[in-house]
């Protein structure tokens, strides 16, 4: 648990670490223990279920309030690793606003909050809690857009590789990208629902500047949502197209092998007839019988090959 507070009148904001929870402070709970959760719940008068809900990895974005405490759960983009493969997914981040404090809680490290601590967010102050919330939402939408641009570049790279060679590795990569886009699209829709409810219900105290920032956040979130849906449609179309191409290539190979088998079957059949241990086989007494039979077999095979070639089976 870390407690921060911005120094008054400083621009850019100077964030100081304080020892105790005080008015206007920001409490950052990263993988908190039960003791830390109990301290924050007691001193900030936060319902324990709000703190537990934010730590649930399956929690969906939502907004809830009880007395003067407001819980906002949002989905943030995150990179995870599974079997040595990096996968883009989403993870819940809980933000709890009380009368005197703002609490952020998550079971994993959050790049958005690291940017806040690094001073990358302008006009940031821990005292203006509603603005702080909207700044987190805005920065989060920016991260979604950055990840979507990386996905788009990866899609282009995979497409080029697939044109050169049809390997399962590239198809598996496309499957992982499609999964990431589904996660992104679903999470962005849920985040939008939270933002729309904040705008509609006025559950948080907002000044004019906060309302303008909220509108910017909604626009940025919609842009990310539209981009994720567009890329998802493109990727789905690419996957289906390349699957059809692979199937068509397999059909071409099978057709070619079938044609070669038919062509080779003619001389094989003739040779099998003359390989029988039977007396007085036709042409057996002829001095050039082997050359003649071989020539007939070759001519028949070439004729069959030409016929298959005209029918575009070769």
Q: In the chain, where are the structural domains located? A: 2-247, 248-310
C-alpha distances out from residue 83 to 89, 178, 234, 304, Å: 15, 18, 27, 52
- For the cut 70, the answer to whether the pLDDT of residue 283 exceeds it is no
Query: 93 burial class (0-12, 13-18, 19+ CB within 10 angstroms)?
Result: buried
- Identical fold between 2-247 and 248-310: no
**Tokens standing for residue 52:** 């537990």
* pLDDT at position 277: 63
Which has more confidence, 308 or 148? 148
Other C-beta atoms closer than 10 Å to the C-beta of 118 total: 9
* pLDDT at position 276: 67
For the ranges 2-16, 32-46, 121-135, 274-288, which has the lowest average pLDDT? 274-288
- pLDDT, mean of residues 260-289: 75
What homologous superfamily does CATH list for 2-247?
CorA soluble domain-like (3.30.460.20)
- pLDDT, mean of residues 32-45: 87
CB contact at 8 A, 197 and 63: yes
Q: How far is it, in rounded angstroms, from Cα 170 to Cα 159?
A: 8
* pLDDT at position 189: 92
Model pLDDT for residues 240-254, shown as the tens digit of each residue: 887 787 788 888 888
- pLDDT, mean of residues 191-217: 86
- For the cut 70, the answer to whether the pLDDT of residue 165 exceeds it is no
Mean of all residue pLDDT scores within the chain: 83
Q: Does domain 248-310 fall into CATH 1.20.58?
A: yes
Write down the pTM of the prediction: 0.77
Query: 130 burial class (0-12, 13-18, 19+ CB within 10 angstroms)?
Result: buried
Band (pLDDT 50/70/90 cuts) for residue 13 is: low
Band (pLDDT 50/70/90 cuts) for residue 51 is: confident
CA proximity to 185, closest of 138, 151, 155 = 151
* pLDDT at position 11: 62
- For the cut 80, the answer to whether the pLDDT of residue 86 exceeds it is no
- For the cut 70, the answer to whether the pLDDT of residue 284 exceeds it is no
């Amino acid at each position: 648990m870390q407690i921060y507070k911005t120094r008054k009148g400083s621009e850019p904001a100077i964030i100081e670490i304080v020892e105790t929870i005080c008015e206007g402070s920001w409490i950052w709970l990263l993988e908190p223990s039960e003791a830390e959760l109990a301290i924050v719940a007691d001193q900030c008068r936060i319902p324990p279920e709000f703190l537990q809900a934010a730590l649930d990895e399956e929690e969906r974005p939502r907004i809830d309030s009880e007395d003067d405490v407001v819980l906002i759960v949002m989905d943030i983009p995150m990179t995870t690793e599974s079997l040595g493969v990096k996968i883009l997914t989403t993870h819940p981040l809980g933000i709890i606003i009380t009368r005197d404090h703002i609490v952020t809680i998550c079971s994993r490290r959050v790049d958005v909050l690291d940017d806040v601590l690094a001073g990358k967010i302008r006009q940031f102050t821990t005292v203006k809690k509603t603005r702080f919330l909207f700044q987190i939402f805005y920065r989060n939408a920016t991260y979604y857009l950055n990840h979507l641009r990386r996905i788009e570049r990866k899609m282009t790279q995979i497409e080029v590789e697939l044109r050169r060679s049809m390997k399962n590795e590239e198809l598996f990569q496309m499957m992982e990208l499609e999964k990431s886009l589904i996660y992104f699209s679903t999470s962005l829709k849920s985040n939008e629902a939270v933002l729309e409810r904040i705008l509609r219900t006025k559950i948080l105290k907002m000044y004019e500047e906060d309302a303008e920032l909220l509108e910017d956040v909604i626009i940025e979130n919609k842009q990310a949502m539209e981009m994720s849906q567009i890329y998802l449609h493109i990727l789905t179309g690419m996957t289906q197209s390349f699957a059809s191409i692979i199937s068509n290539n397999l059909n071409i190979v099978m057709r070619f092998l079938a044609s070669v088998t038919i062509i080779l079957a003619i001389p094989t059949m003739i040779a099998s007839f003359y390989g029988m241990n039977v007396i007085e086989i036709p042409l057996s007494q002829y001095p050039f019988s082997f050359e003649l039979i071989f020539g007939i077999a070759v001519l028949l095979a070439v004729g069959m090959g030409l016929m298959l070639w005209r029918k575009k089976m070769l």
